[in-house]
Amino acid sequence: MSAPVVDVRGVSYAYPGGQPALRGLDLHVHPGERVALLGPNGAGKTTLVLHLNGILTPASGSVSISGLTVSRQSLPEIRRRVGIVFQDPDDQLFMPTVRDDVAFGPANLGLRGSELADRVHEAMTAVDVQALADRPPHHLSFGQRRRVAIATVLAMRPEILVLDEPSSNLDPASRRELADILESLEVTVLMVTHDLPYAAQLCERSVILSDGRVVADGATGLLLRNTDLMGAHRLELPYGFAVPPGPDVA
């Protein structure tokens, strides 16, 4: 098996006040995998992903991205390799137009002229927002803003795309359209979600966190069909939803 692009070893972290959020957590993600991070509120999912690009620093343990340890010195390269799309797209959109927002990151890397224009076009095409290029982001629908937020991250050509609750607040059509886009991307994906059908559709592998620890790691369908495991960690499938058949190997 190839070397992991995400290598989390023994990471512990506590928020101010001393409440532990991660307790010696290990996680390994390999190139091209799509992995859902599942678990109840407070399990440590968002805390974990904030360690992947150095927003948070572990009290103990280590985080490496494609062999590069996350540290103060490596942050610029780590943040190019790991792109995080936050739950609220308005946290990432602040420029006058969609084109300006998508260009912001690569322009800060020093890209100019046709090279920058090509990078922006590539990212907007990947999420089908080319027609919105000259629109102000705050005039767009929520679903459109979410796609633009993803484009701003893809413009950096990350090795790992981290999505925090990508399906939240989307109407059914926007939810389906986003799923189609995510399925088409050739990038390693780590998705924090409470939307278990979305995890079943998009991620072959799932990791369940509880109380700052990994309590299960395996094929998504296998985990979702384990009613005892699901119930023990406050995870519930929507009424009437049947986990689609698929390989029960991670």
**Domains identified in the chain and CATH numbers:** 6-94+160-232 (3.40.50.300)
pTM above 0.85, yes or no: yes
Looking at residue 15, its amino acid is: Y
Query: What pLDDT does 248 receive?
Result: 56
Write out pLDDT tens, residues 14-25: 998 888 999 999
pLDDT for 240 equals 82
Determine the pLDDT at residue 247.
58
CB contact set of 108 (below 8 Å; sequence gap of 6+): none
